[in-house]
Amino acid sequence: MLPTSWEIATLACKLLFYFGAASAVGGSLCLQLYNDGSRSTVQSNIRYITLGAFVGFQGVLFNFLVQIGLVVDIGFFGMFDWRMASIFMDTQLGDTTFFRMAGFVIIFSACLFYSQRIRNLNRPPKQKFYKLLNIINLFAFLLIIFSFRFSGHISVLSPIAKVAIALHFFSFTAWIGSLYPLYKLTFGRDLDFMHRSMKKFGNNAMVVVLVLIIAGVLMCFELFHSLSELFTTAYGQALLVKLTLVLVIFVIAALNKLKLTPGLHNEGGVLALRNSIRIESVVALFILIVTSYFSTIVGPVDHSM
């Protein structure tokens, strides 16, 4: 069955939400851990986080409107039915929307404030300058993660599964959200700093991979009653596609860590790593599309025992 226009719109909104969350987490981590201290790098990172917060906010807002339009079912202008909107505000969808929008507003406002402060400084600030910004962004992201307890089928899962989903979401957004700032670093001239940063990211990514695997296994135990459901249900088949793409991105990450990062001694090595990050970013985009697809259009298997 082909997806409806409302389902496609919901999928697009989720992609915007995922991009916003990824840029907030990945951008903040790169600002803290992989920052060469230059004004251009700092401003690029903060612009990236600010853009992500803006896009994420739009995705959450329009998702709320799309759900109204889906229920009213009178076309485009049905999204602006105030009577239905007021009803939805008192539902789980309203709670989810509130916490996510609040998180993105906090991140957006904090980044605008810090961006203005940096422009007024005569020299690039020291690392501790960003400590408060990263604390604010972390608090805001916790609000976004908290929203998952109200979100769709996740709200009926066990506490362990909810924790696993939160860890999975944080780890993956931290990983894919870091790709763009790391890609920008490959245009720098300090090869020693680039090598140290990529090596540090590779070491940290090993922890991220471990968390993703553990959280993913816990989620599968909760979402599926038996292994056969991975192959016999639409949700399971969509998950297998996602797992295949995740395996591909793991292989690319391993190649970056074991081969390309040690080769960062000349322009050829930098170009190879830059191209690899491009490919990794494309695979990450497909993972987000598949994730949005099976959480929006396919839906999980029945949880009743």
What confidence tens digit (pLDDT) does each residue in 152-190 have?
556 566 777 778 888 888 998 999 999 999 999 999 888
- In order along the chain (305 residues), what is the average pLDDT of each group of 10 residues? 81 94 94 85 92 96 93 86 91 92 97 89 76 91 87 65 84 92 90 91 89 83 77 80 88 91 88 94 91 72 43
- Establish how many alpha carbons lie within 13 A of residue 161's alpha carbon, considering only the half-sphere containing its beta carbon: 14
Helix axes of 5-33 and 159-185: crossing angle, nearest 10 degrees: 70
What is the per-residue pLDDT for 13?
94
Nearest to residue 289, comparing CAs of 209, 176, 211?
176
**Residue 117 shares a structural domain with residue 128:** yes
Same domain? 175 vs 72: no
Instruction: State whether 110 and 161 are in the same domain.
Output: no
Write down which residue in 128, 150, 172 finishes a domain: 150
**CB neighbours of residue 121 within 10 Å:** 10
Domain termination site, one of 117, 150, 183: 150
Q: How many domains does the structure of the chain reveal?
A: 2
Dihedral angle, C-alpha 260, 208, 39, 51, nearest 10 ° = 110
Q: How many CB atoms lie within 10 A of CB 138?
A: 14
Q: Quick one: 33 and 83 in the same domain? A: yes
Range of the domain at 142: 1-150
Q: What is the CATH number of the domain that holds 6?
A: 1.20.1420
| pLDDT for res 164 | 84
Backbone dihedral region for residue 254 (phi beyond 0: left; psi -120 to 50: alpha; all else: beta): alpha
pTM (2 d.p.): 0.88
Name the maximum alpha-carbon separation found in the chain.
Answer: 64
| pLDDT tens by residue, 41-79 | 888 999 999 999 999 999 999 999 999 998 888 888 889
> What's the confidence (pLDDT) of residue 238?
79
The residue from 118, 150, 182 where one domain ends is 150
290 and 191 both lie in a single domain: yes
Give the helix/strand (H/E) hosting 287.
helix 267-293
